């Protein structure tokens, strides 16, 4: 649906919607009301991430997208840091009219979302072809530089062929394994508060301890995104990240999976930068389906939905609250997941390196073929322009020669007359 809508309207609208729902949760009187509103909140938020990834992929090239996606993901890490800060402050300092602190937390976070969303109606761009405040020549530049890499960004409508194009692609199923595991990777970070609570830390102090972890992740995300763009690489960044995470979780098995506090803190901080893998691999998926606009949009949406649904169910049976702070089962399963993730990433990297089974557009052409055709057309256009310039220069030289010859031819006539 997002290719048919204007992002400058769609994105702020759903952000306002989820902000109002979150603020409304502060008014709930029964647990059932919280469940209903939480489900509504999920529906409102569902389209945001894939829509932003799709929008960024419509503006930025392969050598630019990784950094932009990690900067976008930085907002999530920074938000997690601020959430821990706000939670700690509300729990210790603010007693809003005698109401529980969690009500104030929902109200504050929801209303801030609404306030941030409103300027988006004027500040956000749409697509290169229909952004109102972009001059026509700049629109053409934005489109041409993407088409030069085999990107197709024009809307051509949906059909069953698009769904078929996704379902017959082996890359869809490989990414389908990758993204849930990537979301599952930072489980020890998301359970860090619980680990500290079960190790004797009080809740307020444990909330404060998560803040520097997410701030550190916020600092490292753009660096890794820039590196991915600088070396035009998604494969090695993803593979090394998966193997590194596997080693870190192996360290957590020391001392019967109950490592000393210094090791737990070290591993948590070292794992924080791996949060960049999700946006980097999402950029990889965006580039894999760049050959068709609608296929890219649908593939991103399906992969993101699956990536968020599966880990939420698995966490209930793997990272059990009753196992804290040891989590022997959770750590062991995560190590196996990292090994499987590295295998799948390696498989995808090798397939793409040799151009095997790549997605195609509606005419059966791969992105590489479209890239070559576009560049050949541009080269031909350049030759035509050069020919025109040469003809113009030749005409000007001829005119100059005529001007030089004419006075010389006129001189003998003047002498004869004299």
Q: Which helix (H) or strand (E) holds 257?
A: helix 254-257
In the prediction, which pLDDT does 1 show? Answer: 66
**pLDDT for residue 354 is more than 80:** yes
**pLDDT for residue 389 is more than 50:** no
Q: Which helix (H) or strand (E) holds 309?
A: helix 293-318
Chain position carrying tokens 């059932």: 32
Instruction: Give alpha helix (H) positions in 60-117.
Output: 62-92, 101-117
Alpha-carbon torsion angle 235, 238, 239, 244, nearest 10: 160
Cα–Cα distance measured from residue 10 to residue 183, given in angstroms and rounded to the nearest whole number? 26
Cα–Cα distance measured from residue 342 to residue 365, given in angstroms and rounded to the nearest whole number? 29
CA angle 45, 242, 295 (to 5 degrees): 45
Q: What is the largest CA-CA distance in the chain?
A: 121
> Structure tokens of 82?
């601020």
> Structure tokens of 69?
């996606």
| Cβ atoms of residues 15 and 120 within 8 Å | yes
Q: Which helix (H) or strand (E) holds 178?
A: helix 170-184
160-174, 296-310, 314-328, 389-403, range with the lowest pLDDT? 389-403
User: Helix or strand or coil: residue 408?
Assistant: helix
Cα–Cα distance measured from residue 56 to residue 73, given in angstroms and rounded to the nearest whole number? 12
| Cβ atoms of residues 268 and 249 within 8 Å | no
> Structure tokens of 276?
């960049």
Cα–Cα distance measured from residue 86 to residue 84, given in angstroms and rounded to the nearest whole number? 6
120-134, 164-178, 204-218, 325-339, range with the lowest pLDDT? 204-218
pLDDT tens by residue, 67-87: 999 999 988 777 777 766 666
pTM of the model: 0.82
**pLDDT for residue 417 is more than 80:** no
| Phi/psi at 201 (5° precision) | -80, 145
pLDDT tens by residue, 277-315: 999 999 999 999 988 888 899 999 999 999 988 888 888
Quickly state the pLDDT bin for 46 (edges 50, 70, 90).
Answer: confident
DSSP 72: H
Instruction: Give alpha helix (H) positions in 25-47.
Output: 31-46
């Amino acid at each position: 649906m997002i290719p048919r809508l204007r992002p400058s309207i769609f994105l702020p609208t759903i952000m306002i919607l989820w902000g109002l729902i979150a603020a409304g949760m502060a008014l709930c009187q029964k647990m059932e009301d919280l469940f209903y509103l939480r489900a509504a909140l999920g529906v409102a938020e569902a389209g945001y991430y894939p829509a932003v990834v799709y929008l960024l992929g419509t503006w930025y090239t392969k050598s630019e997208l990784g950094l932009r996606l990690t900067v976008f993901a930085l907002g999530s890490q920074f938000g997690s840091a601020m959430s821990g800060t706000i939670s700690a402050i509300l729990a210790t300092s603010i007693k809003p009219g005698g109401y529980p602190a969690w009500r104030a937390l929902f109200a504050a976070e929801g209303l801030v979302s609404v306030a941030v969303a409103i300027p988006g109606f004027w500040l956000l761009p749409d697509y290169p072809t229909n952004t109102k405040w972009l001059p026509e020549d700049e629109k053409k530049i934005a489109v041409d530089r993407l088409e030069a890499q085999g990107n197709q960004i024009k809307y051509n409508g949906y059909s069953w062929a698009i769904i078929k194009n996704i379902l017959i692609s082996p890359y869809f199923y490989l990414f389908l394994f990758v993204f849930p595991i990537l979301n599952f990777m930072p489980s020890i970070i998301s359970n860090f508060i619980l680990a500290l609570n079960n190790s004797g830390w009080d809740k307020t102090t444990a909330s404060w301890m998560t803040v520097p972890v997410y701030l550190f992740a916020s600092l490292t995300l753009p660096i890794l995104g820039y590196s991915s763009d600088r070396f035009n690489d998604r494969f090695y960044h993803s593979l090394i990240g998966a193997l590194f995470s596997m080693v870190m979780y192996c360290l957590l098995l020391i001392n019967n999976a109950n490592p000393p506090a210094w090791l737990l803190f070290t591993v948590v901080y070292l794992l924080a930068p791996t949060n960049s893998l999700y946006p980097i691999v999402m950029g990889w998926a965006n580039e894999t389906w760049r050959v068709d606009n609608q296929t890219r949009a649908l593939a991103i949406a399906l992969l993101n939905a699956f990536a968020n649904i599966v880990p939420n169910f698995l966490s209930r049976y793997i990272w059990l609250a009753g196992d804290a702070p040891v989590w022997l089962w959770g750590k062991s399963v995560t190590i196996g997941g990292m090994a499987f993730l590295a295998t799948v990433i390696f498989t995808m990297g090798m397939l793409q390196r040799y151009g095997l089974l790549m997605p195609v557009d509606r005419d059966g052409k791969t992105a590489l073929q479209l890239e070559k055709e576009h560049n050949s057309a541009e080269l031909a256009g350049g030759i035509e322009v050069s020919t025109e310039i040469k003809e113009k220069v030749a005409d000007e030289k001829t005119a100059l020669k005529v001007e030089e010859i004419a006075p010389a031819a006129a001189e003998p006539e003047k002498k004869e007359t004299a």
